[in-house]
Chains A and B, each alone.
Chain A
Amino acid sequence: MTGIRIALTGNPNVGKTTLFNALTGSRQHVGNWPGVTVEKKTGRIDWNGHAIDVIDLPGTYSLTAYSADEVVARDYIIDENPDVVVQVVDATNLERNLYLTTQLAELGVPVVIALNMADAAEAGGYAIDREKLSALLAIPVVRTVGTRGEGLDGLLDAAIREAETSPHHEHTVGYGNDAEAMIASIVDVLSADKDLTKRYPLRWLAVRLLEGDENALAKIRDSPAFTGVQALLSGIDPDEYEAAMADRRYEMIAAVLPQVRTAGAGGMNVSEMVDRVVTDRYLGIPIFLALMWGAFELTFAVAAPFVALIEAGLAWLSATVAGSIEPGWLASLVGDGIIGGVGAVLVFVPNIFILFLILSFLDDTGYLARAAFIMDRLMYAIGLPGKAFIPMLIGFGCNVPGIMAARTIEGEKDRLITILVNPFISCSARLPVYILFAGAFFGAGAGGVVFLLYILGIAAAIGSAKLFRHTILPGESSPFIMEMPPYRLPTAWTSLLHMWSRGAMYVRKAGTIILVGALVVWCLASLPFGVDYGSSASLAGALGHLLEPLVAPLGFDWKIAVALLFGFVAKEVVVGSLGVLYGTGEGGDALSMALLADPGLSAATALALMIFVLLYTPCLATIATIRKETGSWRWAGFSVAYGLVLAWLLALIVGHIASLFLGGA
């Protein structure tokens, strides 16, 4: 036997991806809130001569999907026939998790239960009799602790055994005389269609049809049995059956549970107590803001000495380069182009790493889900469910996963709005621009200014959402319901790993896209031959002067115009381009000195520039993601145009107001 496909499924936040990573050695995103995984991911392993494909799926509460991510999970399991389904079960929450098990059993696929979070269950005083559970459900049950990689061998062995046992036992819930009679007659009608019989277990299909599942109805629409089924169903009220059948499933579970589990001590737990405070109607939002400010302090202050060290290193490097490389143009290429451009971006590596460390902490504690709840009231006022706040918080790291996270939003229009406003959330790539300009022009107030920029980004997102809701995408917001995971203490190790893998991406970007961008800008600034480097007679100057009229009302000169143009590729390129154009090959904090010395730049223009960078298109990758997630270039184009207009207007207004207070313009 060779290829085996194992699909990992289960309720949200039970540890599917943790197990997937442990099994395959991948580094997929794990987080302590429901809805982290929104796409299916495949990983391959070799195990005792078997080539095994492990497929990680988004979490789902049942096989009737509601949101886009659940559809992915459902369709894979129902339509792609994996050889075995491993249902990852949260051992601290057996009752609800087993509901999905009853549906999987009905579907007739080979199932293995990974009884995950066994450590948490044991710490909570639960004792679970796995053998008994396995016997009662006729499904193998394996104890696992995903975070520590315990039980993986046993899980793989059981999965392979199940995949290779053909016919395996089906064990389904009995729904009582009335429903069973209906199911039998539906099965009878369906069995006339041989094609359908081959593709789906008829009992499962009949149950879904009786419950009134639209998706099941769609599956038989083209079948000759369709009219017969319709005739059968027309006489009954599916709503009545649906409630009764759900009830039967829980009754079955309730009968199993006391036989296999001895409950731990009850009482109010820590999560519940902390939630009393952090979701308090008056204190909730202030606490959220205070935490955000704390995150800021860390990102700026703690990184500062490391930034200073890198600056010193770069200064030394460029001094060495200037002194030892011949001819002059090559020294300029290395000094101005590479060190000036890429160095300007690399300087901020410490800030970026700390930002990612904080975001990973936020991810793992479980506070993210609370933030969504706290914001629900505010979000409701603008016509979005509170859940839409989660993609925004993810956007603080990078807008691409932020936009993808919108898949968990149920309503299609809600999802579109959530996607379209995400680019206004200030991602990590914009941070270097702020640190550079706020640091140069606002001195001690820099932290506050940048904090306000982040708040402005949230405000722009929320305001735009309200605008879209009232104009192009009208409608009601879909209801908000979200599981609140227990708070967990992230281990230093997982947080650091998380930080490393995402921070390394930033460094890699500096070595690729930003390097290329810097080289292009350097060429433009050096050509045609013989021109003064970076002067307005160069190609860059010509390009900049072409664009200058567009941004002149904002107080930006041609150098900034060029930097903003190249910033379309990625926001760090703005800093990189300026580094090149200002010819600060001397490295160190020379760039901020050069900016400060430029008579064309004032604190007010710096503010306008930061606002412009905050609001205009984040990067090519984001545009591509909007295109992919909305399925149309129209929305991607709309997002770019809207962002540019908003950026231009707000930069103009704030720039002018600020110049009244700060002087200069």
Chain B
Amino acid sequence: MDPICPLALLSAGTEATIAEVRAGKEMRFRLAGMGLCPGARVRAQCVDRGSLIVSVGDARYALSRGIAMKILVGEPEAA
């Protein structure tokens, strides 16, 4: 699956699958531990100019725009 857009550009209420995480190694390990790794389904819940709250499985995370730009997702679709 091709990366389509950064997570930061999702609009509230849409779902997508993570395609790639373009962050440093340590950050990637941390994100994998949190469930944010390629293949994971994420849903954007609250969106505010790039920073957002997403749900992954049963967990919910707040991300700043900086990190949300580095997580690339596939085609978003309305949940």
Q: Which residues of A contact B (CB under 8 A)?
A: 60-62, 64, 66, 92-96, 99-100, 211-214, 239, 242-243, 246-247, 250, 271-272, 275-276, 279-281, 369-370, 372-373, 376-377, 380, 385-386, 477, 479-484
Contacts and interface: CB of A to CB of B under 8 A. Distances in A.
Given A66-B26, A66-B30, A483-B59, 8 more contacts: A62-B29, A96-B56, A96-B57, A247-B37, A271-B60, A279-B62, A377-B48, A484-B62
Given A96-B57, A376-B62, A480-B63, A64 B33 contact: yes
A271 B32 CA distance: 24
A477 B66 CA distance: 9
12 contacts: A62-B30, A66-B26, A66-B27, A243-B37, A250-B37, A272-B55, A373-B53, A380-B65, A479-B27, A481-B67, A483-B59, A484-B62
The 4 closest A-B pairs by CB, nearest first: A61-B33, A62-B33, A479-B67, A480-B64
A247 B56 CA distance: 15
Contact of B48 (A60, A61, A279, A370): A279
Contacts of A62: 29-30, 32-33
Contact of B62 (A99, A213, A480): A480
A481 B67 CA distance: 8
Nearest to B26: A66
Interface string B62-76: 111111001000000
Contacts of B45: 272, 275-276
B78 to A, nearest CB: 14
Nearest to A379: B64
Given A242-B28, A380-B66, A479-B27, A92 B58 contact: yes
A272 B52 CA distance: 12
Contact of B33 (A100, A239, A482, A484): A100
Given A64-B29, A212-B25, A96 B59 contact: yes
A376 B64 contact: yes
Contacts, number: 126
Nearest to B43: A272
Question: Could you say which of B26, B45, B59 has the most chain A C-beta atoms within 10 Å of its C-beta?
Answer: B59
A146 to B, nearest CB: 18
B38 A96 contact: no
B44 to A, nearest CB: 12
B39 interface: yes
A142 B24 CA distance: 37
A179 B48 CA distance: 41
Question: Could you say which of B30, B33, B70 has the most chain A C-beta atoms within 10 Å of its C-beta?
Answer: B33
Nearest to A67: B30
A60 B26 CA distance: 13
Contacts of B66: 380, 477, 479-480
A246 B48 CA distance: 30
A213 B32 CA distance: 13
B32 A480 contact: no
Contact of A272 (B49, B60, B67): B60
A271 B55 CA distance: 12
A483 B30 contact: no
Contacts of A60: 33
Contact of B35 (A96, A211, A243, A370): A96
Contacts of B63: 479-481
